[in-house]
Amino acid sequence: MNYFKTTLLLIALAALLIWIGSMVGGMQGAMIAFIFTLILNVGSFWFSDKIVLAMYRAQEMPEKDFPEVYEIVREIAGNAGIPQPKVYLIPQDAPNAFATGRSPKNGVVCVTRGILNMLNRGELKGVVAHEMSHIKNRDTLIMTVTAVLASTIMMLVNMARWTAMFGGRDDRNRNGGGIVGLLAMSILAPLAAMLIQLAISRSREYGADAAGAKVAGSGNGLANALRKLNEASPRYRLNASPQTAHLFIVNPLSGSFIAGLFSTHPPVEERIKRLMKA
Q: What is the pLDDT of residues 222-233, one digit of tens each?
A: 999 999 999 998
> How much is the average pLDDT of 233-249?
84
SS3 for 170? coil
CB 85 within 8 A of CB 111: no
The C-alpha atoms of residue 278 and residue 272 are separated, in whole angstroms, by 10
Straight-line distance from the first to the last Cα atom of the chain, in angstroms, rounded to the nearest whole number: 23
Whether residues 10 and 111 share a domain: the answer is: no
Question: Residue 29 pLDDT > 70, yes or no?
Answer: no
Looking up residue 271, the CATH number of its domain turns out to be 3.30.2010.10
Residue ending a domain, choose from 153, 180, 199 = 199
Tell me, what amino acid is at 25? G
Q: Answer whether residue 61 is part of any domain.
A: no
Whether residues 271 and 239 share a domain: the answer is: yes
Closest by alpha carbon to 208, among 274, 148, 147, 259? 274
Q: What is the pTM of this model?
A: 0.78
Question: Residue 200 pLDDT > 70, yes or no?
Answer: no
Based on the structure, what is the number of domains in the chain?
2
Q: Answer whether residue 13 is part of any domain.
A: yes
- Domain extent at residue 31: 3-54+141-199
> How much is the average pLDDT of 122-135?
97
Whether residues 153 and 258 share a domain: the answer is: no
The C-alpha atoms of residue 83 and residue 223 are separated, in whole angstroms, by 25
Q: Which residues are catalytic?
A: 131
CB 93 within 8 A of CB 235: no
Whether residues 150 and 263 share a domain: the answer is: no
Whether residues 193 and 206 share a domain: the answer is: no
- Predicted confidence at residue 57, as pLDDT, reads 95
Mean pLDDT (the chain) is 82
219 or 176: which carries more pLDDT confidence?
A: 219
- Predicted confidence at residue 235, as pLDDT, reads 87
Q: How confident is the model at residue 241 (pLDDT cuts 50, 70, 90)?
A: confident
Q: Answer whether residue 60 is part of any domain.
A: no
Whether residues 206 and 95 share a domain: the answer is: yes
Q: Answer whether residue 235 is part of any domain.
A: yes
Q: Answer whether residue 59 is part of any domain.
A: no
How many angstroms separate the Cα of 85 from the Cα of each of 101, 169, 246, 247?
A: 9, 48, 20, 16
Q: What confidence tens digit (pLDDT) does each residue in 35-73 have?
A: 776 776 677 678 878 989 999 999 999 999 999 999 999
> How much is the average pLDDT of 69-93?
97
SS3 for 107? coil
